[in-house]
Amino acid sequence: MRLPWSIVALALAACHRAQGTDRLTRQALVATAIATEQPLARVADNAAEALPGEIAKCAPAEGIFLFVTPGVAWVGAPLRVLAVSDSPLEGTLRILPAGKREAAGPDAALVGSSAVRHGGPPYFFVAELESPRAGPYDARFTQQGCEAGAGEVTKRILVGAWKPPPPVPPKEGAALWPVYRTWNRALENVYSAWIEHLFDAPDAEMPSWPALHEVLRDKRRNLLFDHLAAGEDSANAPVVRPDCADLPYFLRAYFAFKLRLPFGLSECNRGGGGAPPSCKPGVLVSNFDVPVPFDDKASAVKAFGTFLRGTVADKAHSGSARQPFEEQNSDYYPVSLTETALRPGVTYADPYGHVLMIAKRVPQSATRGGQLFAVDGQPDGTVARKRYWRGNFLYATRQELGGPGFKRFRPVARRSGKLTRLDDDAIRKNPDYGDVSFEATKLDIEGFYDTIDDVLSPHPLDPERAMLETLDALEEQVRTRIKSLDNGRRWLAATRELAVMPEGPDIFETSGPWEDFSTPSRDLRILIAVDIVRTFPSRVVRRPERFAMPAGQTNQQVREAMDRSLERELRQRRVTYTRTDGSLFTLSLEDVLRRTSALEVAYNPNDCIESRWGAHAGSEELETCRAHAPKDQRARMETYRTWFHERSRPPRK
């Protein structure tokens, strides 16, 4: 007997827990058994079949691409091979001495092997040989369940005995780096796999790094580490600290530089005065344009670093990602809202100016909903991973804000000696892409979030578990704010000057200490996130079909039980921040929710950290406060409070 999913989901939550399950899930399992008149064990067995693993049976070999790094293999560098595919294959990737299918005894050290599949989609395997010897090797991916030789793909690799020479430095008037390859589906899959591996971590962790170059210099993470054998990822490599808008461009340019692919970006504005952003037609600043002024003594790596920190950082900004969907002079195009399109490397354009990049998708399982992880950059250079949810990924449909949502880099191609970007029609017709979509333009705000929820979790969710995952996301967001405010605390303790507060909407976008240490955008997101958590039980009632509602309970009973559970969780979850004098102070999430009015004016870096956490006047918590924003700044913040109270960022001037 195949159980209805609304019943199966409840059993799944229980059968995947051992002894000591909580009362809610024990009751759910018992209720399922009673409702279906089956033994408890049989319910668990049937439930375990409800979410079969994703496996593609014996896919054609032409759908598997083997990528080798470094670009020229040699004995002084680890040899890495990636097998990438759009299909969820099962198999083994091996690196073996040429002509051999197995290696044992003295030759065992000459084998790199992995049967661990990552990603989805694209899916990939990584095999590494730490110390290859000079000579020929075969990289071979063998699929599980295929007949002998079927679906197998092999690539011959020659490992040299000496280190290859570094890339030739650019010459004045020539390209910054030569272009030998063309963007295609296989390399886009490698790009996605590289992004996922670069920022990978256990799902429960939200890692952060002081700067992007810290990630790139980690050879365990960076599959392209020293791909050019030029020490380009060593301690002497270029220092890069992109903000949120720069981060996708920096990563795309880095990948293109390593693989000798074309790269370019448009010159766009941020919009304003009621008009959405727009780009200059026919303008593409690319790797064919060397940095100005030209340095004839710069190595290829140094010139690339200058290109990133100068040209790319100057041209890229949040308006670049927020171009209207129909703008074909832009660097991005909107993608379909499907699990195959929402892959690592796809960006998310926040309508209010933030930009994130997808780093990993985790499919729905028996014990939790599907998840999407993204990375973003901050004004202080920090790069961090965070999960997708409404509190992090804001959405709006106001025309003057441009086109928000998920977007992908337009492929840049070389035609007649010039670089050009593919327009929408060319992308639709290109078999390597074809995923341009204006689906999001037909959705209102709730429709957009409902669509993404359905993509990430196609099966109904246990409502209580879904609420706890939402609370997890809020807690992560609050903890991230702790780090940002602590940076401001340290700056305030060390500085003798006030941060200049911009006028009007410019408080969200400016430069200098205000940009680095103020938090208006982050605080607006926190306030929106608080609203989402508060209203989650009512959202369950609004879309009961999305949830595996407990048997025998009305929607109102489910909502009341969730309200009680929410109150309990908010009291129990706690965070700790460092006060001005270095002492620690602990807040519950319930405290944070109660302080939303104070958090509407808590973004000024000239205020002490206690005030920025909403400490009440006369409280013990506020006794260590030693700094206050000037009266004129506080007066202006009160006039701007409406934006935060209404959870609506103002349009640009």
Write the pLDDT tens digit of every residue in 560-572.
Answer: 999 999 999 999 9
Q: Are 195 and 220 in contact (CB under 8 A)?
A: no
Does one domain contain both 83 and 34?
no
Residue 29 has pLDDT above 90, yes or no: no
Quick: pLDDT tens for 425-471.
Answer: 999 999 999 999 999 999 999 999 999 999 999 999 999 999 999 99
Same domain, yes or no: 511 and 574: yes
Q: What does the pLDDT look like over 46-59, one tens digit per residue?
A: 333 334 445 567 88
My answer on whether 483 and 441 are in the same domain is no
Higher-pLDDT residue of 139, 61: 139
> What pLDDT is recorded for position 36?
34
Q: Clarify whether residues 331 and 404 are in a common domain.
A: yes
Res 368: pLDDT: 87
Of the candidates 98, 124, 159, which is a domain's last residue? Answer: 159
Residue 235's pLDDT is what? 84
Question: Does the residue 20 lie in any domain?
Answer: yes
CA 360, CA 382: separation in Å to the nearest integer?
A: 19
- Look at residue 178 and tell me if it is in a domain: no
Residue carrying structure tokens 């920190």: 309
Element housing 406 (H / E): strand 405-409
**In-domain check, residue 171:** no
> CA Rg, the chain, in Å?
27
Co-location of 441 and 472 in the same domain: no
| Residues 221 and 144 reside in one and the same domain | no
**Structure tokens that stand for 323 in this block:** 């171009």
Phi-psi group of 490: left, alpha or beta (phi > 0 → left; psi -120 to 50 → alpha; rest → beta): alpha
Can you tell me the mean pLDDT for 496-521?
Answer: 90
Region 498-505: mean pLDDT is 94
Q: How many domains does the chain have?
A: 4
Instruction: Return all residues near 481 (Cβ < 8 A) that are at least 6 apart.
Output: 519, 522, 523, 526
Most confident of 186-195, 232-241, 399-408: 186-195
Q: Smallest Cα–Cα separation from 93: which of 26, 146, 143? A: 143
% pLDDT > 70, the chain = 90
Looking at the structure, tell me whether residues 127 and 216 fall in a common domain.
Answer: no
Q: In the predicted model, is pLDDT for residue 1 greater than 60?
A: no
pLDDT of amino acid 345: 97
Using the predicted structure, report yes or no on whether residue 631 has a pLDDT greater than 80: yes
Residue 175 lies inside a defined structural domain of this protein: no
Same-domain check for residues 547 and 444? no
CATH number at residue 88: 2.60.40.1930
Report in angstroms the alpha-carbon separations of 237 from 218, 233, 240, 299: 12, 5, 9, 11
134, 161 Cβ separation under 8 angstroms: yes
Residue at 180 is within a domain: no
Quick: pLDDT tens for 272-318: 888 999 999 988 888 887 666 778 888 999 999 999 999 999 999 98
pLDDT at 651: 74
Check whether residue 527 and residue 500 sit in a common domain.
Answer: yes
Q: Which domain holds residue 195?
A: 185-456
Predicted local confidence at residue 391, as pLDDT: 86
647 with 632: CB under 8 angstroms? no
pLDDT at residue 42 in the model: 34
Under the banding of pLDDT at 50, 70 and 90, the label for residue 127 is very high
Q: Mind listing the pLDDT tens digit for each residue in 398-430?
A: 888 899 999 999 999 988 778 889 999 999 999
| Same domain flag for 194 and 131 | no
Q: Which helix (H) or strand (E) holds 85?
A: strand 79-85
Q: Is the pLDDT of residue 170 over 60?
A: yes
| Position 38 pLDDT exceeds 60 | no
Query: Are 311 and 416 in the same domain?
Result: yes
What DSSP character marks residue 148? T
Residue 24 confidence (pLDDT):
34
Q: What is the mean predicted confidence (pLDDT) over 533-543? A: 92
In a domain, 625, yes or no: yes
Ranges of beta strands (E only) in 144-259 are 153-159, 208-209
pTM greater than 0.85:
no
Domain closes at, from 456, 476, 503: 456
CB 470 within 8 A of CB 539: no
Across the chain, what does the average pLDDT equal? 87
DSSP characters over 530-599: HHHHHTHHHHHHH-GGGB-PPTT--HHHHHHHHHHHHHHHHHH-EEEEE-TTS-EEEEEHHHHHHTHHHH
* 415 and 538 assigned to the same domain: no
Half-sphere exposure of 547 (CA within 13 A, CB side): 24
Flag whether 169 is in a domain.
no
- Boundary of a domain, candidates 423, 456, 489: 456
pLDDT band at 30 (very low <50, low <70, confident <90, very high): very low
Q: Has residue 179 been placed in a domain? A: no
φ/ψ of residue 123, rounded to 5: -105, 145
